[in-house]
């Protein structure tokens, strides 16, 4: 099971590294989002309170949607989806492999986005690197867990590009809220770590719920 997930992940990363298509488009889109918000909101070098936290997460959510839409679309275009599903591999393992691929991709994007937001909004984002990494990782897993499931299911649906955000955003609202609140708490002049810890705990709880539900439903949703 772990081996299969690892193989799926390795395959996805190999394909991605050869073209870097998803990485570049996602990153470019997320960076443009941040720039728009910086034009609109930063006046004379002063950003609105908690703006940086919200905009970082908007960029991750928007960029992530783009990346999620592409991962399974690629399988469909090269007609490898059937091969992937016919392979003697447990469905949950395929899901986990895909999920890890998305998380790795978004984590790589965040490495660029965080310093950019910190720079444009003059936010002390890097003052607690460990906690920020915990918030970003747990939030990204929650977002990607739902996203991977739905983008896989949408592969066969009509108007899938429109439907992915429609499905994804209502369900990931709690993840985004918890992520934004935790990041905003980290940006305060004197950080209340108890508050950050609370939001990270909530994010991890959401991750557990979402991943469990996704593993449970991935199999019946991907058959036929």
Partner 1 sequence: MPKWFVPLAAATALMFAASPFLIANAPYEATMGLVQKIFYYHLPSAWVFLLSAIVCGIASARFLFGGSPRQDRLAYAAAELTVLFGAIVLVTGPLWARKAWGVWWQWDVRLTSSLMGWMVAWAYLLVRKYGGPGSDKLAAGLALFGMANVPFVYISVNYWRTIHPATSVVPTLPVDMGVALWFAVACFLLLFVLLLRLRVYLEEQRARLDALYLSLDE
Residues of the shown chain interacting with partner 1 in the complex, contacts defined by CB under 8 A: 146, 149-150, 153-154, 156-159, 162-163, 166-167, 169-171, 173-174, 177, 209-210, 213, 216-217, 220-221, 224
Nearer to partner 1, 35 or 162 (CB): 162
Nearer to partner 1, 92 or 107 (CB): 92
> Nearest distance from residue 159's CB to partner 1, in Å?
6
Nearer to partner 1, 42 or 163 (CB): 163
> Nearest distance from residue 39's CB to partner 1, in Å?
26
CB 58 within 8 Å of CB 37: yes
> Nearest distance from residue 206's CB to partner 1, in Å?
10
CB 101 within 8 Å of CB 16: yes
Residue with structure tokens 């929650």? 142
Q: Sign (positive/negative) of CA torsion 150, 132, 50, 48?
A: negative
> Nearest distance from residue 221's CB to partner 1, in Å?
5
Three-state DSSP class for residue 2: helix
Count of beta carbons in the 10 Å neighbourhood of residue 189: 6
- Write down how long the chain is: 224
């Amino acid at each position: 099971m772990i081996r299969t997930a690892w193989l799926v992940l390795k395959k996805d990363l190999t394909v991605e590294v050869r073209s870097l298509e998803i990485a570049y488009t996602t990153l470019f889109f997320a960076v443009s989002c941040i720039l728009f918000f910086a034009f609109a909101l930063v006046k004379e070098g002063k950003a609105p309170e908690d703006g940086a936290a919200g905009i970082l997460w908007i960029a991750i959510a928007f960029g992530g949607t783009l990346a999620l839409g592409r991962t399974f679309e690629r399988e469909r275009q090269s007609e490898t989806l059937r091969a992937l599903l016919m392979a003697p591999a447990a469905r949950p393992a395929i899901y986990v492999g895909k999920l890890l691929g998305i998380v790795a991709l978004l984590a790589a994007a965040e490495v660029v986005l965080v310093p950019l937001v910190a720079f444009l909004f003059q936010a002390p984002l890097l003052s607690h690197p460990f906690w920020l990494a915990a918030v970003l990782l747990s939030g990204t897993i929650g977002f990607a867990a739902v996203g991977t499931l739905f983008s896989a299911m949408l592969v066969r649906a009509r108007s899938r590009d429109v439907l992915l955000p429609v499905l994804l955003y209502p369900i990931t609202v709690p993840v985004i809220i918890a992520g934004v609140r935790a990041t905003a708490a980290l940006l305060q002049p004197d950080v209340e770590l108890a508050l950050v810890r609370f939001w990270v705990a909530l994010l991890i709880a959401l991750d557990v719920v979402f991943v469990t539900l996704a593993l449970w439903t991935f199999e019946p949703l991907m058959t036929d």
